Structure 1
Amino acid sequence: MGSVNLFGPVTGGYLAYVVSIAARFAFCVITQMFFSRYAASGRATAVQSFGLGWIFVHLGDFLGVVVVVLVQAGLAASTIALDQVAAVSIAVLVVATMFVLNRKSFSLEARSDNAETSDIEDAHMVERGRQEDEDELGSRIRLLAADQGLTPRETEVLGLLARGRSIPYVRDALFISKETAATHAKHIYAKLGVHSRQELIDLVH
């Protein structure tokens, strides 16, 4: 409304449209940034995280429609002003942006060179320890797979299951159907003599 008053109905209308599209694009980017951290943590595959991101984007669209209906009712009753709605919307977007960008993985906070160096060294130590554990686990998996006569694909599935991954995760990670992943898991359980994923994890570890 302010852009229409300032620039006229035509130019102002175009500006308002551009601003609304930019705001929705920003919301999509913020949402996907947040869920990319979810995938990076190992709790979901990139495909699952991407899907969750768009679910929340569409949920935001739905809530936006609800808010528009409520705002229109408030404007008609003169209980709220359009300027107030704009101010609150901007504040919500800014707070959401700060929440995502201030997370550890997207931290923009300036730190001293010593602190950055220490963080890098700590990260390298953690990564080395993780790599050593991963190499040891990988060796045990390959040894077990060879002893029990697992196929190369079953060995891949075993590696994921032994790390606590779910069947949907295996499906997305190996680009196979859920039924195929479940069948591989069933064959692995039979060959290893286990009856659950926890028993498999205990056996490998």
Structure 2
Amino acid sequence: IIPWENLPYGEYAFTFGSIGGATLLCIIGVICGLTNDRLNIYRTFPWLIIVAIASFALFLMGERFFVPSFFVVLAAVSIFEVLLIMYFGVLGVKGYVPIGFAFGFSGAFIRLGIAVGNAIALYYEANPAFAKVATEPTSLLFVCVLAAVIIPLVRQEYNITQLMAPPATESSQEHRIKELAAEFSLSARETEIVMLIARGFTTDNVAKKLVISPYTVNTHIRHVYEKVGIHKRSELIDYINRTGSEDDKA
């Protein structure tokens, strides 16, 4: 909605805004790398929404604030895009969704958001009379939507942190799985397969490593599900991680 002629760098403004977003990402990455808590980046979600709301507020204050509004929101969007790809990537690696789905959905979701935003902007540009009346209410509407998103996002912060947590070290993970095997009377082969699944192996990878067929692997996995009382891979991984978290707290 902000005309290019109102920006000091014209068509290059988007490039400079993207560089600003990349710089912020590097700064966040350095901070996360230097601190003990390496999950800080995911706790920026609510703050990024606040930044987006602030950019709308700047936009509504008039043309002299168009430039900071543009660069602030572009930096926030750049960070959101990277975090979204990372989030779905972790979901795929941990077995919650297929890798292809995670990759495709994250990319499609981002492109869809850009398409919708551009479509609104182009419609307003083509209909200046309507834009004059509707731009401010539209911005206020987006502010309200973003503000409403903050509350459930903050409530889910702990779950996001747990989900994004790095996998347990191999020794502690093995200890948990051995306890699981003893509790539910898993066979040696079933325990071995659970070990590999917990490390991120797919069914085909497990089959190749153990020199058995994928069908045999699936049969063992099905028996594990029946013994433990779960229905899918993500539930098994959740159970192992949850058991480990409880042990750590104890």
Q: What's the TM-score once normalised by structure 1's chain length?
A: 0.47
Query: What's the TM-score once normalised by structure 2's chain length?
Result: 0.41
Of structures 1 and 2, the one scoring higher in RCO (CA 8 A, sep 6+) is 2
